[in-house]
Amino acid sequence: MYRSGVVMAWNVFKFCTALRGLGSIMILLVLGVVGVTYYAVVLCNYGPALTAGGFDSLVAVLILIVFHALLAMLLWSYFSVVFTDPGGVPPNYRPLVDQERGEMDPLEASESVPLATADSTHTRIRYCRKCNQLKPPRCHHCSVCGRCVLKMDHHCVWVVNCVGALNYKYFLLFLVCSLFYLPVGDMSKLPFTL
């Protein structure tokens, strides 16, 4: 696009509002996948095998116990990562030591940047221009959430939240549970099952 002789860059962040609206749809999509898997495994595959008796019934009980345990862990970790705050910058954050360089000596008044100014040439203390506040190390601004997040990994549309310092553990648990949950749901292709 040209406007008065200047090339305008394409702004991908204008779609951040659409990502916020997509959130409830993604939660319903995840729950839909879990529901379809539950229907296929429990109601169609191993549920009817419980009445067959013998070895097939024992295998079906074992698979259903493992399946339900993984399902409970998957749903708990998913909703934990969805509803846990990823961690924000404390109000009136002000570093007491030089955290960027790993030094433990206190910052002097001459080294500190005032809160009212954003000195972009100062490399020791970081400042967020969008939030108008100082940023701790490994803190990044999320364009979708519209705030700075501590130890931000990414904004995940599947969990409709940023993955940060306080919900990273739940996100990893969700991924591990998903890794084990889906193959258990696909065990109907094994030769020793029904």
State how far the Cα of 81 lies from the Cα of 153, in Å rounded to an integer. Answer: 13
Could you tell me which residues are beta bridge partners of residue 93? none
3-state secondary structure of 149: strand
Catalytic residue among 142, 145, 156, 177: 156
Burial 99-117 (b: 16+ CB within 10 A, else e): beeeeeeebeeeebbeeee
Locate 40 and state its tokens.
């296929």
State how far the Cα of 83 lies from the Cα of 69, in Å rounded to an integer. Answer: 21
Active site residue 156: yes
Helix (H) or strand (E) holding 76: helix 54-83
Picking from 51, 76, 40, 48, the residue whose alpha carbon sits closest to that of residue 184 is 40
Catalytic residue IDs: 156
